[in-house]
Amino acid sequence: MREERVSGKGELTRRRTIVAEESPAASGGDVVSLAVDLRRCRPGRVLRVHGLYSHVQDADGTIYRCATRRILKTLATEQRHVVTAGDRVLFRPVEKSHPKEGFIERIEPRRGVLSRSVRGRQHLLVTNVDFLAVVASAAEPRLKPNLIDRLLVAAEKGGVQPVICINKIDLVDPAALQPLVGVYSQMGYPVLLLSAVTGFDVERLKRLLIGRSSVVAGQSGVGKSSLLNAVDPSLHLKVQPVSVETEKGKHTTAAAQLIPLADGGYVVDTPGIRQFQLWDTIAEEIEGCYRDLRPYAHLCRFPDCTHTHEAGCAVKNAVADGRLDARRYESYCKLRTGETG
C-alpha cells in the first residue's frame, strides 16, 4: 500500500487533503480518497452520468443532480470519465435547491469493475457490481463468440461473476448452438438460451438478477433492453429493431444507467458494444484469463511460451489433439496480438 498526503497551511488547503492508496486492477485503478467534511456530506450511489452531471441517489431514495469536484477530474488522468454508473460517492447537497442539486466530493473505493480501453484511456462501464450478463444473439445480428471471450476476460480481471446469455433462439434451431454452449459450460460458465419474444427461460435469468447488483453488456441489437423488459415489465426500456440491410443494431441505450428492479436488486443497462479492447492488460496476462488454456500452459517446454509459434507447446498440442477448442485458441491469439473485436 502506498499512502501520500498532500496538504498545506490554512483552512482551505486542509480541506483538500488527498490520500492515495494503491489498489488492485480489479478496483478500477488507484483509489484517490479526498478528505471531506463528513458533517456536510451524504453517501450516495451514482445511477447515471449525463454530460457534466451525475444522477446520485441517497439512502432515502432522493435523487440529486450533481457536478463533480474539479480536483477529482484533475487526479483521474487515465480515465475517460471520472464518475460512472454504480459508483458509491460522498456528495454535498446544495441547500434549498430545486430540483435537488449537489457536488460529488469523493468517490469511494471500487470493486466489481467492468471497463475497456478507448483511445488509450480507461472507460469504466460500471462499478460495484457482482454479476455480468454477457448478452449475445443467435441471429440478427450474428453471434460473435470472440466478443463474448473478451467480455469474459474483462469479467475475470474486474472480479465480476459472468453468465452467458444467448438471446433470440426463436430465430434458429437451438441444437445448432450446442457445440458452443458445451465449450463454455465445460469451463464452468453458465449459459442460458433465451428468447425475449417468447419468454423462453427468462424466468431463470430473472432468478439470477433479483437481489444482486448486475450489469448486462453485449453488442448493439442483441436484445439487452428487451430481455430486461421481459424480466421486469415495469421498466419499459426503449428498444429498436435491427437493420435488415446491415444486421447491425442501433444504439438504443445512450448511457449506462443503474436501474432498480421491482423484486429487488439493481441492474445496469449499457450501450451496445461493437469493439471491445481490454484496459491495462499485457499479453502475458491473457492466458490466465482463459480458463481452458490454463491447465496446459504450465506443461509447455519453455516457461515463457506465448502459445503461438514455439515448439513443444502443450497448448498447441491440445488444439491439434482436439482437447482444446480451435476457435477459442484462435480467439486467444487475436487478443494476444491486439486485434480488435
Task: Look up the pTM and report it.
Answer: 0.84
Residues 134, 264, single domain; the answer is yes
Residues 186, 230, single domain; the answer is yes
Residues 265, 133, single domain; the answer is yes
pLDDT of residue 67: 94
Q: Phi, psi (5° rounding) for residue 249?
A: -85, 160
Residues 194, 160, single domain; the answer is yes
Residue 123 lies in a domain: no
Residues 323, 214, single domain; the answer is no
* CATH (domain of 37): 2.40.50.140
Residue 116 lies in a domain: no
DSSP bridge pairs for 102: 66, 93
pLDDT of residue 223: 95
Residues 301, 258, single domain; the answer is no
Structural domains in the chain (count): 3
Question: Domain boundary residue among 72, 107, 142?
Answer: 107
CA–CA distance, 333 with 233 (Å, rounded to integer): 41
CA–CA distance, 310 with 299 (Å, rounded to integer): 13
**Residue 65: count of CB within 10 angstroms of its CB:** 15
* CATH (domain of 303): 1.10.40.50
Query: Residue type for 150, please?
Result: R
CA–CA distance, 281 with 150 (Å, rounded to integer): 11
Question: Domain boundary residue among 43, 77, 107?
Answer: 107
Give the tens place of pLDDT for each residue, 218-272: 999 999 999 999 999 999 998 877 655 545 545 566 688 999 999 999 999 988 8
Give the tens place of pLDDT for each residue, 310-334: 999 999 999 999 999 999 999 999 9
Residues 101, 162, single domain; the answer is no
pLDDT of residue 72: 82
Residue 276 lies in a domain: no
Range of the domain at 196: 129-269
For CA atoms 128, 132, 133, 135, give the dihedral sign.
Answer: positive
Residue 117 lies in a domain: no
Residue 114 lies in a domain: no
Residues 248, 308, single domain; the answer is no
CA 332 → CA 122, 163, 222, distances in Å?
Answer: 22, 19, 23
